Amino acid sequence: MTDFTTWDILRNLLLAARWTVLLSLVSFIGGSLVGVALLFARIGKSGGGRAFVKAYVEIFQGTPLLMQLFLTFFGLGLFGIDVPAWLAAGLALILWSAAFLTEIWRGCVESVAKGQWEASSSLGMGYLQQMRWVILPQALRVAVPPTVGFSVQVVKGTALTSIIGFVELSKAGTMVTNATFEPFTVYGFVALIYFCLCWPLSKSSQILERKLNVAHRNH
């Protein structure tokens, strides 16, 4: 049996952490795109669209992410596709992130005072113009800190994809443990790497909240 030095353990974990970072980025960016589409349906005029997004959010926020991963993994398989773990992981995380981001952003759009809609409408602006020039610029200011904060949830959420067999940081942790029989050291390092990924995001979310809150204080 080969001996593993601490450096060997750390190196293997860091190599696997690249996949955690990549999956987080894909999920966050994909989730944002889907989330924007859902947001427009949620605050739009069509009753059917609003009801659909409401149900979507309820389902994705009311069930475990792990179940969503399983259902995506085995659900895609029903169509006779041989589903690689990364595809199921990416798809499930995108849909899951979209639900949370839509809900966060809806709150931000609704936080813009109602008088702003009326004022811009009295200036003869259409719906898209109101959105582009009046509502979204204000909502965006409020939206940045919680959105950055949610990215931490995405990074942590990727850990669950190890269960459907995607080899990222957590899965690598399990594999290295099985080879070294040093769970304390290995999971300690895994936790540390997650912390190094997440903590800067958490911290910047807090700092942004303090900075961007300036406009809000004088309401």
Partner 1 sequence: MNYAFDFGWLFDYWPVLVKGILITVELTLVGGILGVSLGIACAWARALGPRWLGAIVATYVELIRNTPFLIQLFFIFFGLPALGVRMGELEAANLAMVINLGAYGCEIIRAGIQATPRGQFEAGASLGMSRIQTFWYVVLVPALQRIWPALSSQIVIVMLGSAAVSQIAAEDLTFAANFIQSRSFRAFESYFVATLIYLALAIGLRQLLRGLGWTIFPRRAAR
CA of residue 103 relative to chain centroid, distance: 12
Tally of CB atoms within 10 A around 49: 15
**Least distance to partner 1, CB of residue 156, Å:** 4
Cα torsion 166, 172, 176, 177 to 10°: value is -80
From the list 79, 115, 122, 217, which residue makes contact with partner 1 (rule: CB under 8 A)? 79
By CB under 8 A, the residues from 157 to 186 that bind partner 1 are 157, 159-160, 162-163, 170, 173-174, 177, 182-184, 186
Instruction: Kindly state the number of chain residues that form the binding site for partner 1, as judged by CB under 8 A.
Output: 40
In 3D space, the residue among 69, 54, 135, 141 whose CA is nearest the CA of residue 99 turns out to be 54
| Tokens matching residue 121 | 């409408």
**Least distance to partner 1, CB of residue 70, Å:** 4
Binding mask 29-58 for partner 1 (x = CB under 8 A): ------------------------------
Q: Which stretch binds partner 1 (CB under 8 A): 5-13, 83-91, 124-132, 151-159?
A: 151-159
Asked if 83 and 164 touch (Cβ cutoff 8 Å), the reply is no
Asked if 213 and 142 touch (Cβ cutoff 8 Å), the reply is no
Is 111 a binding residue for partner 1 by CB under 8 A? The answer is no
Q: Select 131 or 190, whichever has its Cβ closest to partner 1.
A: 190
Binding mask 56-75 for partner 1 (x = CB under 8 A): ---x--xxxxxxx-xx--xx
DSSP label at residue 131: I
Is 126 a binding residue for partner 1 by CB under 8 A? The answer is no
Cα torsion 10, 28, 156, 141 to 10°: value is 120
Asked if 216 and 139 touch (Cβ cutoff 8 Å), the reply is no
Q: What angle do CA 183, 185, 188 make, to 5 degrees?
A: 95
Is 190 a binding residue for partner 1 by CB under 8 A? The answer is yes
Given the rule CB under 8 A, which residues bind partner 1? 59, 62-68, 70-71, 74-75, 77-80, 152, 156-157, 159-160, 162-163, 170, 173-174, 177, 182-184, 186-188, 190-191, 194-195, 198-199, 202
